[in-house]
Structure 1
Amino acid sequence: MTSQTSQKAMLWIVAAGFFMQTLDTTIVNTALPAMARSLNETPLDMKPVVVAYTLTMAMFTPASGWLADRFGTRRVYFAAILIFVLGSLFCAGAQNLDQLVIARVIQGVGGSMLLPIGRLAVLRSVRGEQYIAALAFVSVAGQVGPIFGPVLGGWIVQSVAWHWIFLINVPVGAIGLLAVLRYLPDHTVGRAPPFDFVGCGLLSLCMVAFSLALDTPHEASHAAWSGSLFALSLLSALLYIPHARRRQNPLFRLALLREPNFSVGLAGNLVCRIGSGAVPFLMPLLLQLQMGYSPLHSGLMLLPAALAGVVAKRWIVPLVKRFGYDNFLLVNTVLVGGSIASFAAIAPGWPVGLAIAQLALFGATNSMQFAAMNSVTLKGLSVEDAGSGNSLFSMVQMLAIGLGVTIGGGLVSMFTAQMGVAGTAYRLAFFTVGMITLLSALVFRRLDVETLDKSRSPASVASR
């Protein structure tokens, strides 16, 4: 077999892993009402099914590079697929919500390594100009997953049973395992630098405690528990600072945060992505529970957002070149937040065509927002800090998705308890998370414009 054929096979393996990971991030959403009925839970109580997966990915992503250096890309990628497939089997066999959440955690452990290790394998195997083309090929899988996820999830639930949204990973994973053994190169560094387990543990504790604090019921009797979790989250974050100063190779160097645009980009991403993370969770629930749509119909309604997002990616470069990052992010953030808030108008009798237009506007502006935010956050980092900064940035992205689900679902529960009308509660929740997204425009006003203007070229805009 020629080296070119082996390289193509490797790219297909990495793309398939990326596809599975992104598909499972979106396919569950349209199935949540059916899963809730099967497990005798309310749909909003299914939030942990989504949050457990994204939060686990955020916690384990930083360790992926070290694992690949220590044990080799082939072994770790094989283990990632195997863990992901086993987690999928456990999800399909879950008999209650607790079992399903634990299974999603297992799935998240495997999913957290699929993209980073796959990208690392491409980096170490493909050189020169072919590397950009190879990454572009792999990134297509990340775009296809969110497009087909909601539709496929709705179709499977409606035609078979919700268990099969997890079981479809088994044959794909089995083929992937065989392909990894045959085609994926085994790049092993040998003596990997010591991993910062303490730092990773502190930041993971910070994220988990903060997420649980937000997910605590709003009754007065739970206020002390929620406050304790917030305090634990803050304490673990503060403890990381002296730990990072003492350690020679911390998980994330504190100097990262002294890069102004990186700090602003992290904060802006965290705030902005809360609204973007809430929409894929809340919209299928609104369409199925309040509008009476079938699972497949609700999945099809989300298709315009995904397709518009893919098309809009080609607009970001000329728009940034013409108006600059600061002006673009200011206007586009308003459009993203406004489109999310506009979902508050969707109710029984609302024109389908108008709802599709709203979702398409959200998909297009949200896609461009991600690309611009990613580029602003990472472009000013030094070569020394690029890998660490990208890892921290990935953690924040996954954390924000989980927070979006937690906050969005929590708002619906709170407004329903206060007003007694679920339909109104969904509308108020969409309006609120839209306003939260708009607040990120204030964060982006603190960008260092002079630094950004020095490199306003197409190559400087990140693809995702």
Structure 2
Amino acid sequence: MTPRQRIVALTVACALFMQTLDSSVLGTALPAIGRDFDLDPVRLHLAMTSYLIALAIFMPMSGWIADRYGTRNVLRVAIVVFVGASVGCGYSTSILELVLMRIVQGLGGAMMVPVARLALLRAVPKSSLVQAMTWVSVPALLGPVVGPPLGGFLVTYASWPWIFWINVPIGLIGILLATIFFENLRAPDIAKFDRIGFVLSATAVGGILFGLELAPRSGTATLPGYGLLAIGIISALLYARHARRHQAPIIDLSLLKISTFRVSIFAGSLFRIGIGAIPFLLPLMLQQAYGRSALSSGLITFSAAAGAIAMKFVAPRALATAGFRKTLTWNAAIAGVSIAIVAAFSDTTPAFVMLLVLFVGGFFRSLQFTALNAIGFADLDDAQMSRATGFSAMVQQLSLSIGVSIGALILQVLPYLRSEQTAAESDYSIAFLCVGALVATSALAFARLEADAGQAVSGHAATVGGVNRPPSDPRT
């Protein structure tokens, strides 16, 4: 990679840093926000899912907007929207205000990260893609490392609004770097924006996810929840029909014909659903079930991100040695087991044991994310990159949102079955067992990859009879 490509990667990392910092800080602060709003912190999962849903709704249009107005221009505007909404989140006085501001923040994030990643993909050759992803991921992973202890400190010694206001200086740095080092890349020929597709896809995503939020509840929210689910499913079917007929659909389903991209979407989603529940479940378990302070919780949960950073330095070598199929398959199983082990924690578990388990789990989860991000774009040409970026990013956020919803649902249903109001320590154990099993199950899907899948990106040489063969060799 050239020095300029590294700076572009670090600028992308700045955008990712803001997003990951925001997500990791919020989980630590949920109990404090719940006390201020006089709500059960479990119900505040809406503050997390509303942001993720907004990301999923608006991300598919990010590629078209970047092609139309230029990557640099769109990125700078997106950062301004994200930072402005962050300030609004800090001034929120109710759950409704917070959710609305998080939706606006999601609009900014939907343009910010995919466009920044698209600029990187266009600036870096495929042979350097894994290395570029490492440069992006390491600074971005500082967000989850710094976020929990910083959030715990701010909640304990200041107030929870500061967890949002710290995005302001980071955003200003991102705007400056983008202005200096980013080219304002535009596509020479841009298809007409797929308005019908956007409406159908947005209705499908919003209807299904908000329906899943409301349908499991008792009382008056149940019927609208099922109604939203029905509308979402119908809209999804209509969109699938629309996408087959449109020349340039906003979500190009034809990309799923590419096996490496298809696996990154379906198997990757199963993996991410399980992972998405952890930032929600872990801080709540430590604070609500074990009675730890926000600062103590943050000083424990950050270890998973520290393990993730450690893995980034060996990820390219691991992929070159084992290839994508073996890495993704075995790593998914190991990651699932590491999550299930958390179910054995209790309020008497020594902190160093928790730190070690979370560090190891973060280590292997990080390798999986690096591999997924790389293999998803391994067999795409330049013309497919912008469509694939929005598609992939949308599915990622959908998966994380579903993960948070599943975690919250478990913590609501189990106490309800016992006629209790709050989740017990055993409920958190069951939740971690469930999400761990979900993550481990994704290994079955990764095992179906071809042995030489993504070979040009990983540098791994598949063999036939012990002899290295080029990627063009038709033998299986």
**Bin for the TM-score computed over the shorter chain:** 0.7 to 0.9
- Whether the aligned pair in 1 keeps the contact of 2:134 and 2:313 (CA below 8 Å) is no
Once the two structures are overlaid, the 10-residue window that deviates more, 58-67 or 33-42, is 58-67
How big is the shift at 1:457? Answer: 1.3
Aligned with 2:140: secondary structure?
helix
Q: Which residue of 2 aligns with 1:83?
A: 81
- Whether the aligned pair in 2 keeps the contact of 1:337 and 1:437 (CA below 8 Å) is yes
Query: Cα distance 1:62–1:441, how it changes in 2: closer, same or farther (>3 A)?
Result: same
2:265 partner amino acid: L
Distance 1:452 1:177 in 2: 34
Q: Which residue of 2 aligns with 1:48?
A: 46
Distance 2:173 2:107 in 1: 20
How big is the shift at 1:138? Answer: 4.2
- Equivalenced residues, count: 457
Once the two structures are overlaid, the 10-residue window that deviates more, 13-22 or 280-289, is 13-22
Q: Which residue of 1 aligns with 2:284?
A: 285
Aligned with 1:25: secondary structure?
helix
How big is the shift at 1:210? Answer: 1.9
Aligned with 2:314: secondary structure?
helix
1:155 partner amino acid: F
Identity of aligned residues (%): 35
Q: Which residue of 1 aligns with 2:352?
A: 353
Query: Cα distance 1:255–1:37, how it changes in 2: closer, same or farther (>3 A)?
Result: same
CA deviation string 1:315-344 (max 9, x = no partner): 334444444433333322221111111111
How big is the shift at 1:35? Answer: 0.8
Query: Cα distance 1:459–1:393, how it changes in 2: closer, same or farther (>3 A)?
Result: farther
How big is the shift at 1:373? Answer: 2.8
How big is the shift at 1:385? Answer: 2.8
Instruction: Could you tell me which runs of 5 or more consecutive residues in structure 1 were left unpaired when the two chains were aligned.
Output: none
Alignment of 1:42-121 (within 5 A): 42-121=40-119
Q: Which residue of 2 aligns with 1:437?
A: 439
Aligned with 2:277: secondary structure?
helix
Alignment of 1:220-299 (within 5 A): 224-299=223-298
CA deviation string 1:286-328 (max 9, x = no partner): 0011112111111110122111111112333444444443333
Query: Cα distance 1:132–1:313, how it changes in 2: closer, same or farther (>3 A)?
Result: closer
Query: Cα distance 1:257–1:225, how it changes in 2: closer, same or farther (>3 A)?
Result: same
Instruction: Could you tell me which runs of 5 or more consecutive residues in structure 2 were left unpaired when the two chains were aligned.
Output: 463-476
How big is the shift at 1:87? Answer: 0.3
Q: Which residue of 2 aligns with 1:202?
A: 200
CA deviation string 1:151-204 (max 9, x = no partner): 111111111000111122234434555666666554455874322222222222
Q: Which residue of 2 aligns with 1:39?
A: 37
Q: Which residue of 1 aligns with 2:471?
A: none
1:149 partner amino acid: G
Q: Which residue of 2 aligns with 1:26?
A: 24
Query: Cα distance 1:197–1:149, how it changes in 2: closer, same or farther (>3 A)?
Result: farther
Alignment of 1:116-265 (within 5 A): 116-121=114-119, 137-174=135-172, 176-177=174-175, 185-187=183-185, 192-216=190-214, 218=216, 224-265=223-264
Alignment of 1:370-389 (within 5 A): 370-389=369-388
How big is the shift at 1:243? Answer: 1.1
The TM-score, its normalising length taken from structure 1, stands at 0.88
Q: Which residue of 1 aligns with 2:330?
A: 331
- What root-mean-square deviation, in Å, do the aligned CA atoms of Structure 1 and Structure 2 show? 3.1
Distance 1:161 1:447 in 2: 48
Query: Cα distance 1:44–1:242, how it changes in 2: closer, same or farther (>3 A)?
Result: same
1:39 partner amino acid: F
CA deviation string 1:21-43 (max 9, x = no partner): 22112211101110111111110
Query: Cα distance 1:31–1:245, how it changes in 2: closer, same or farther (>3 A)?
Result: same
Query: Cα distance 1:446–1:23, how it changes in 2: closer, same or farther (>3 A)?
Result: same
Aligned with 1:390: secondary structure?
helix
Once the two structures are overlaid, the 10-residue window that deviates more, 184-193 or 285-294, is 184-193
Q: Which residue of 2 aligns with 1:412?
A: 411
1:140 partner amino acid: V
Query: Cα distance 1:207–1:147, how it changes in 2: closer, same or farther (>3 A)?
Result: same
How big is the shift at 1:11? Answer: 6.6
Distance 1:61 1:118 in 2: 12
How big is the shift at 1:127? Answer: 8.7
1:438 partner amino acid: A
Distance 1:263 1:121 in 2: 22
CA deviation string 1:347-397 (max 9, x = no partner): 111222222221112101111121223334332334443332232111111
Distance 1:459 1:58 in 2: 36
Distance 2:444 2:8 in 1: 43
Aligned with 1:343: secondary structure?
helix
2:437 partner amino acid: M
Q: Which residue of 1 aligns with 2:472?
A: none
Once the two structures are overlaid, the 10-residue window that deviates more, 344-353 or 155-164, is 344-353
- Whether the aligned pair in 2 keeps the contact of 1:67 and 1:76 (CA below 8 Å) is yes
Aligned with 1:292: secondary structure?
coil
- Whether the aligned pair in 2 keeps the contact of 1:151 and 1:303 (CA below 8 Å) is yes
- Whether the aligned pair in 1 keeps the contact of 2:258 and 2:379 (CA below 8 Å) is yes
Distance 1:161 1:55 in 2: 26
Aligned with 1:370: secondary structure?
helix
Distance 1:394 1:99 in 2: 26
The TM-score, its normalising length taken from structure 2, stands at 0.86
- Whether the aligned pair in 1 keeps the contact of 2:74 and 2:112 (CA below 8 Å) is no
CA deviation string 1:198-222 (max 9, x = no partner): 2222222222222123222535666
- Whether the aligned pair in 1 keeps the contact of 2:215 and 2:223 (CA below 8 Å) is no
1:58 partner amino acid: A
Once the two structures are overlaid, the 10-residue window that deviates more, 385-394 or 175-184, is 175-184
Distance 1:5 1:374 in 2: 22
Once the two structures are overlaid, the 10-residue window that deviates more, 136-145 or 78-87, is 136-145
